[in-house]
Amino acid sequence: MQLVDRIFSTDAASKRGPAELSLLATRGVDNLDPYFAKFIPQLFIASVVPLIVGIAIAYKDFLSGIVIICTIALIPLFGILIGRFTASATQKKWQSLAILSGYYLDLISGIATLKLFGRSKQQAQRLQEVGDDYRSETMKVLRISFLSSLALEIIATLSVALMAVTIGLRLVNGSITLQTGLFVLVLAPEVYWPIRQVSAQFHAASDGVEAANRIFEILETPVSAASNLISDITEISWSDLTVEFEGREKLLIPAASIKAGAVNLIAGPSGSGKSTLISILMGFKSDYNGDVIVKGKNGSVKLSDLDKTNWRKQLSWLAQEPHFQNATIFEVLQQIKNDLSKNEATQLLASAGLEISDMPNGLDTGLGGLNEALSIGQRRKVALARALIKPSSIVILDEPSASVDDASEVVISDVIKSLSKQGKIVLVVSHRENLISDVDSVIHFGALK
């Protein structure tokens, strides 16, 4: 729960992506179990048992105690050296898994479009390559684990053998009694066994260690302490914004402003920063250079200084790829307005271009399952209706008319105009020419620079 709360209160989602975050919140958290349940207790045992047994052996036979001190130091030394290789290999394995999960998520999300253009089969080879990379990194971790276990076993075995040879020679010349020699030989393996088990449990918990590192990176991300509030928003403006992404060139978002009572449209090629700007305006991305100014009737405030929870309460948002949990259409709409009646829901959906007759089970049609009964365009209309219910002063619509027919696009265009007439700030991202030609202002985004 802490991880989920911190994801929504910081910009972790924009840095890591939904696939890696869901991987950490599920498999990553599960992998913490062997770390806390096995590795940590074994570490405690290894710090207590060898010390007590070693003292008992040294008390009975001081020379055997010296041999233990000289040989037992080799196990942690080799364990540290091998552990570094294990940590590096496990990190690469998790990176490969994150890439594989992200690629698979993108592939599944766009499978309908790929099938439409006959490009779905071409992705199989790339998916195979990414899967092979993950398999290769996993095998590297396993090889290191087996080799390290073998190395530590050999060290422990040779250490006990050295002690046995020493005791045997001393028994021959009579410098040690048989009782003391047997006492030392019986207890000697117990000095090395707990430390060997620490190494074995470390490899078993290596995934948990790497997952913990990634999880705590998110948990330790500072949450903005901004507490300023603003209402009656009339304009949002921003200077030239630059955003840096790992592995790609710096992204430049040109300066512009959007005003209340107007339909403001952002147009530009893919990769020009439209979705990035939306993330910034919604407060989910803060690592940018430049200023975003929010103007209200009582003054102006930087977006970075605003309380993000209060700020998002004033926003309505339609995502480019709407997603729903397992619920009926009526239940999804009721989440925004608890006292919503079915008659109001029907009228609301109709205003978004979705009639009851278009849905297999009317308002009881299920959403969020693997076999949704609605098309992509119909789901987008449900998401639009959901955005319309929320009382807000800013409406952000990302490709609201994608995957819909021309008649529905006209209806959606009318809805957008009505929102601007209500005095709201309406920001639309679209490639559709019909929408572009019917707005109050257009902000053109260029390419990457």
User: In a 3-state reduction of DSSP, which class is residue 246?
Assistant: coil
Can you tell me the distance from the alpha carbon of 244 to that of 77, in angstroms, rounded to the nearest whole number? Answer: 41
Quick check: 403 and 380 in contact, CB under 8 A?
yes
Question: Could you tell me where the beta strands, DSSP code E, fall in 80-125?
Answer: none
Residue 412 to residue 435: CA distance in whole angstroms: 9
What's the pLDDT score for residue 449?
39
With beta carbons less than 8 A apart as the criterion, state whether 224 and 199 touch: no
Q: Which residues of the chain have pLDDT under 70?
A: 11-15, 79-80, 82-84, 86-87, 200, 202-204, 224-226, 246-247, 369-371, 433-437, 447-449
Cα 211 to Cα 83, 188, 203, distances in angstroms:
16, 36, 13
CB atoms within 10 A of CB 437: 10
Cβ burial 233-265 (10 Å sphere, 16+ → b, else e): beebebeebebeeeeeeebbbbebebbbebbbb
Tens of pLDDT along 67-91? 888 887 777 777 667 666 766 777 7
Task: Set out the domains of the chain in order of their start, with CATH numbers.
Answer: 2-219 (1.20.1560.10), 233-444 (3.40.50.300)
Determine the Cα–Cα distance for residues 3 and 25; give it in Å rounded to an integer: 7
pTM for the whole structure: 0.65
Contact 441, 262 (CB under 8 A): yes
DSSP 339-355: T--HHHHHHHHHHTT--
* Chain centre to alpha carbon of residue 261: 37
The closest of 317, 316, 287 to 304, measured between CA atoms, is: 287
**Residues 87-118 pLDDT 10s:** 677 777 777 777 777 777 777 777 777 777 77
